[in-house]
């Protein structure tokens, strides 16, 4: 897991790591809506209207999701290191990234629905578990996997 601007700021407060973004760099945020539940409902209606539910078994959705991850990866392929905010990318390139990320999210939300996984709650719980697995005092500024420091 790599640090974002917000993580850097928090890490600085917690352990003194000085990888802080410039002060005039406002943190990026998402819109409040649509929520994942709203996206689930919208996609569910979209599928029902087309009678596509019969194709949306979990395995099919997982394979479609992996395919979309590949399409997203292709946009970053051969570009070397890419900085936060995609500086230098054209608007059509950024729009393409947004569409492929959306394909990934839409399939993930649909897969979670079909598996009866409450994805927003599960994701929040997973972040909490990661917090316990990666205590700030042990991992701040380090990219080591938890197995590399739990033996200490
Ligand atoms: Mg796609």
Cα angle 104-143-148, degrees, rounded to a multiple of 5: 115
pLDDT band at 79 (very low <50, low <70, confident <90, very high): very high
Q: Could you give the percent of the chain with pLDDT greater than 90?
A: 73
Q: Residue 49: is its pLDDT beyond 80?
A: yes
Ligand 1 centroid to residue 100 C-alpha, Å: 5
Average pLDDT rounded to a whole number, residues 70-88 = 96
The predicted-structure confidence for 2-19, as pLDDT tens digits, reads as follows: 444 445 555 556 666 555
- Cα distance between residue 35 and residue 109, in whole Å: 11
For the chain, the first-to-last Cα distance in angstroms comes to 21
Ligand 1 centroid to residue 64 C-alpha, Å: 9
Ligand 1 centroid to residue 79 C-alpha, Å: 19
CB atoms within 10 A of CB 136: 14
Ligand 1 centroid to residue 99 C-alpha, Å: 7
The predicted-structure confidence for 22-33, as pLDDT tens digits, reads as follows: 556 679 999 999
Ligand 1 centroid to residue 8 C-alpha, Å: 31
Ligand 1 centroid to residue 147 C-alpha, Å: 35
Ligand 1 centroid to residue 76 C-alpha, Å: 14
């Amino acid at each position: 897991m790599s640090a974002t601007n917000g993580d850097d700021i928090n890490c600085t407060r917690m352990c003194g790591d000085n990888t802080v973004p410039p002060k005039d760099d406002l943190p990026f945020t998402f819109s409040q809506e649509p929520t994942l539940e709203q996206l689930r409902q919208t996609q569910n209606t979209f599928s029902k209207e087309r009678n596509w539910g019969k194709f949306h078994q979990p395995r099919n959705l997982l394979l479609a999701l992996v395919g979309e991850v590949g399409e997203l990866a292709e946009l970053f392929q051969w570009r070397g290191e890419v900085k936060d905010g995609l500086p230098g990318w054209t608007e059509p390139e950024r729009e393409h990234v947004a569409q492929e990320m959306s394909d990934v999210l839409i399939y993930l939300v649909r897969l979670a629905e079909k598996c009866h996984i409450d994805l927003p709650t599960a994701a929040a719980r997973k972040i909490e578990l990661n917090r316990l697995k990666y205590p700030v005092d042990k991992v701040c500024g380090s990219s080591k996997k938890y197995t590399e420091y739990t033996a200490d």
